[in-house]
Amino acid sequence: MTDTPTIFGLPAEKGRWGLVALGLLINLCLGSIYSWSVFVGPLAAYFTETLGREVTAAEVLLPFSVFLAFFAIAMPLAGKYIERYGPRKVTVVGGLLTGLGWLLASTATSVEALYVVYGVIGGLGVGIAYGAPVAVAARWFPDRRGLAVGLALLGFGFSAFVTANAAGALIAAYGVMATFQIFGAVLIAVLVLSALPLRFPPDGWRPAGWTPPAPGVGTAPVCECNRGTMLRTGTFYGLFACYFVGCLAGLMAISIAKPVGTELAGVDAGLATLLVGFFAVFNGLGRPAFGGLADRITPQKTAMLTFALIAAASVLMWLAPGVPAYIVAFAVLWGCLGGWLAIAPTATASYFGTCDYPRCYGVVFLAYGAGAIAGPQLAGFIRTATGTYLGVFPWVAALAAAGFAVAWLLMRPPAVAPARETVPGSAAED
């Protein structure tokens, strides 16, 4: 390979870290959805007091669910366009739609309008843009893929910590609708500018001095396959099932973190709110931490470790529901959820290569969407059926045990490496 690309005027081996930093910034913006809880009370008051429309907090929460649903739907659909048009153009389109969703939310005169302008338009924007910086990190870092992907996704995990505080201050100063306008304008500017340097490496590029390990041993892909080939392997179904279980357990924990603290652990409501921010830090740090582990000990072993930790945390909370157990257990559960958002994309590239990576990971990412829907619903069902959240934890432990078994049996390199197949329309490098 004679091509020696530069990034930001630096040799690619150094400049590629700048692309990871941009990915982190992009995901920090895209993850602003997790600040929605800050808007619920002010929005309900605005509709009731200013517009004379009586709404409940539950109704104002629904745009959040619509947003996540369209995020999960758009993610796999956008994959082929990342290949065809390149990460820069796709991120610009996604960024414009994301910001537009926030801007149009400032004009909403009903909750139903928010479902469309914020939930649908904003959710599609995030789903379109989300995969591009992940794909860029995966291709520029064949040697440290898990760490690079985890760092790029760190912004999404930390976003609530940053954007929720910013939203709270802006709402107090300017009002809720003006805050939507400010967020929309800032998101468009930052996302579009951050997208401009994004590009894939030339075909065949590898870091100077790096020799790929033997197939199936480390981060080198066992095969270079397209989405159709991936779907014919047992490895895909093992990865999908494990990703679903990991997200299901983690999102159950996220959805009930505060009520479990107040109802089971006896934590003061104010402290419980602060602890949710504390847990969010673990959610963010879990991405580079477990992503780096996937590089070192393989995605399969890292997945098994997360399931062991999830089971242990759940049993601890089930048997000793006090303040110390609550803090330790939920820090672990949030951290493992963040970890899965790095393990899954790393495993996809490690097992199936990067020639059709955006489309391949787009399908794998549907497991996150399924977990996002099923996790909170299952937690609510158990709470209603038993009258307490305590019954959630034996179920999470059992799911983790099942995930451990599936990871051990199926989440391994494909037994037969399919020949590399041509990906239609994947020539764009942008």
CATH number for the domain including 304? 1.20.1250.20
Query: Are 363 and 345 a contacting pair, CB within 8 Å?
Result: no
What pLDDT score does 284 carry?
A: 86
Q: How many of the other CB atoms lie within 10 Å of CB of 327?
A: 16
Same domain? 24 vs 131: yes
Q: How far apart are CA 92 and CA 98, in angstroms?
A: 10
Same domain? 162 vs 247: no
Query: Are 121 and 101 a contacting pair, CB within 8 Å?
Result: yes
Q: How many of the other CB atoms lie within 10 Å of CB of 54?
A: 9
Domain assignment present for residue 419? The answer is: no
Q: How many of the other CB atoms lie within 10 Å of CB of 87?
A: 29
Same domain? 286 vs 394: yes
Query: Are 53 and 41 a contacting pair, CB within 8 Å?
Result: no
Domain assignment present for residue 201? The answer is: no
Domain assignment present for residue 47? The answer is: yes
Domain assignment present for residue 209? The answer is: no
Token pair for 369: 């969407």
What pLDDT score does 426 carry?
A: 44
Q: Which domain holds residue 87?
A: 11-195
Domain assignment present for residue 180? The answer is: yes
Same domain? 292 vs 149: no
Same domain? 103 vs 234: no
What pLDDT score does 107 carry?
A: 93
Domain assignment present for residue 5? The answer is: no
Same domain? 295 vs 406: yes
Tell the residue number behind the tokens 């034996």, with chain if given.
Answer: 394
* Domain count along the chain: 2
Q: How far is CA 385 from the centre of its chain?
A: 30
Phi, psi for residue 10 in degrees, rounded to 5: -110, 155
Token pair for 63: 């745009």
Domain assignment present for residue 314? The answer is: yes
What pLDDT score does 415 carry?
A: 67
Same domain? 235 vs 150: no
Same domain? 189 vs 291: no
Same domain? 48 vs 109: yes
Of 195, 213, 241, which residue sits at a domain end? 195
Same domain? 372 vs 304: yes
Same domain? 250 vs 141: no
Q: How far apart are CA 67 and CA 73, in angstroms?
A: 10
Same domain? 140 vs 237: no
Helix (H, G, I), strand (E, B) or coil at 11: strand
Q: How far apart are CA 176 and CA 154, in angstroms?
A: 27
What pLDDT score does 218 carry?
A: 45
The pLDDT tens digits along the chain (430 residues) read 445 788 998 999 999 999 999 999 999 999 888 778 778 778 888 888 887 778 776 677 778 778 888 988 898 888 889 989 999 999 999 999 999 999 999 999 888 899 999 999 999 999 999 989 999 998 999 888 889 988 998 888 788 778 877 888 898 899 999 999 999 999 999 999 999 999 999 988 888 888 776 654 444 455 577 888 899 899 999 999 999 999 888 878 777 777 888 888 888 877 876 787 788 889 888 989 999 999 899 999 999 999 999 999 999 999 988 899 999 999 999 899 889 989 999 999 889 887 888 889 889 988 988 887 788 778 878 888 888 889 889 999 999 999 999 999 999 888 654 444 444 444 444 4
Domain assignment present for residue 360? The answer is: yes
